[in-house]
């Protein structure tokens, strides 16, 4: 397995996480702190352009230019290990680093833009290694999974059916850097197991995309929803689907009611990011840290063996329901 850092980490902010599921970021910071992982966040860091890039708004050179800027921020901050919470950020940054290191023409053009804009930035060859400096957050936690077991405080019901959705931009782009396999991806399954829970393991649609397809969600909505519905239908008996990418999370969580109505189905599947699950299992505040109130599909965990923690979770859920009632 490739070397995984636990310090000098720049936690790369995600536009979708910040706007749709901020609890993923607060959960990540909570888990990092509990595991003793040293990191920083730099608010000068900008979006990776992923949504715009895959919608043909940003061309490759513009996207690489922005990546070079973010890389320079990480290096000057003495935190060159870039850790993303979004699979798209992961793939975008790795591709940009490869281009900057291997394509002299692009590198010189980008450095010329920096110079012409009077920006004190310059990308040097190999200053960011796509394999040794760019990671997805699940890899950081996977490296600490044995320590993670000792920090779990919550015990969920044994009869919960949990499945995992491994993001395409983690499993299907840079195969050689992936941990946990690509044909039957299981890095999320291993992390769930570290929380003293079990997953259903392999299922027929495990490797199927979420269906979002970036702009396809809007320009080919019927096709996008068809792919998503096929996966949801295969998961009708599953209680929780674990995610590692906010775009996938949003596709299922936000559109599940629409798909249920469109296909005349009833779905019970709840959607949780892996970092939210881990933080919750460590005993983090459900509202202030885990942020389950931002989800479209209510997260109602069946039963819990730790009564004190269960009461705390129930109180938080009741509070959320009162807030929703007031809004209505």
List, for residues 167-177, the tens digit of each pLDDT value: 999 999 998 99
Residue for token pair 């840079």: 174
Greatest mean pLDDT range, 215-224, 259-268, 293-302: 259-268
List, for residues 10-64, the tens digit of each pLDDT value: 999 999 999 999 999 999 999 999 999 999 999 999 999 998 998 889 999 999 9
Nearest to 164 by CA among 137, 141, 190: 190
How deeply is 264 buried, as exposed, middle or buried, from its count of CB atoms within 10 A (0-12, 13-18, 19+)? exposed
- Domain range summary for the chain, segments of one domain joined by +: 9-137, 152-327
Confidence bin at 303 (pLDDT 50/70/90): very low
Query: What is the Cα–Cα distance from 69 to 120, expressed in whole angstroms?
Result: 10
| Sheet strands (E) in 120-261 | 134-136, 162-164, 240-243
List, for residues 214-237, the tens digit of each pLDDT value: 888 888 999 999 999 999 999 999
Which of 274-278, 280-284, 313-317 bottoms out in mean pLDDT, i.e. has the lowest? Answer: 313-317
Residue 310 has pLDDT above 60, yes or no: no
**Domain 9-137, what fold?**
Glutathione S-transferase Yfyf (Class Pi); Chain A, domain 2 (1.20.1050)
- From 3.30.420.40, 3.30.70.100, 3.40.1190.20, 3.40.50.11810, which CATH number describes the 152-327 domain? 3.40.50.11810
Residue for token pair 């202030």: 288
pTM: 0.92
Q: What is the mean pLDDT of residues 171-188?
A: 93
pLDDT of res. 258: 96
% of the chain at pLDDT higher than 70: 92
């Amino acid at each position: 397995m490739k070397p995984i850092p636990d310090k000098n980490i720049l936690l790369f902010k995600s536009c979708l996480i910040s706007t749709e599921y901020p609890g993923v970021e607060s959960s990540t910071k909570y888990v990092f702190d509990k595991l003793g992982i040293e990191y920083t966040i730099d608010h000068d860091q900008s979006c990776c352009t992923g949504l715009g890039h895959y919608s043909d708004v940003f061309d490759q050179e513009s996207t690489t230019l922005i990546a070079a800027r973010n890389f320079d921020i990480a290096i000057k901050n003495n935190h060159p290990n870039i850790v993303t919470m979004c699979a798209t950020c992961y793939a975008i940054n790795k591709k940009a680093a490869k281009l900057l290191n291997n394509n002299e023409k692009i590198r010189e053009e980008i450095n010329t833009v920096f110079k012409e804009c009077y920006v004190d930035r310059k990308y040097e060859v190999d200053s960011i290694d796509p394999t040794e400096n760019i990671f997805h957050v699940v890899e950081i936690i996977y490296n600490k999974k044995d320590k993670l077991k000792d920090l779990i405080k919550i015990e969920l019901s044994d009869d919960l059916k949990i499945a995992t959705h491994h993001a395409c931009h983690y499993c299907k782009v840079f195969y050689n850097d992936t941990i946990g396999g690509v044909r039957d991806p299981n890095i999320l399954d291993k992390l769930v197991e570290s929380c003293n829970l079990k997953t259903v393991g392999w299922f027929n649609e495990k490797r199927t995309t979420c269906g979002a397809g970036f702009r396809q969600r809007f320009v080919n909505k019927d096709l996008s929803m068809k792919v998503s519905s096929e996966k949801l239908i295969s998961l009708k008996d599953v209680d929780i689907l674990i995610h590692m990418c906010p775009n996938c999370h949003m596709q299922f969580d936000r559109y599940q009611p629409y798909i249920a109505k469109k296909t005349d189905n009833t779905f019970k599947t709840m959607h949780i990011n892996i970092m939210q699950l881990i933080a919750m299992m460590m005993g983090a505040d459900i509202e202030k840290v885990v942020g389950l109130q931002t989800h479209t599909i209510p997260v109602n965990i069946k039963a819990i063996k730790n009564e004190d923690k269960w009461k705390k979770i129930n109180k938080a859920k009741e509070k959320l329901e009162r807030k929703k009632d007031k809004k209505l």
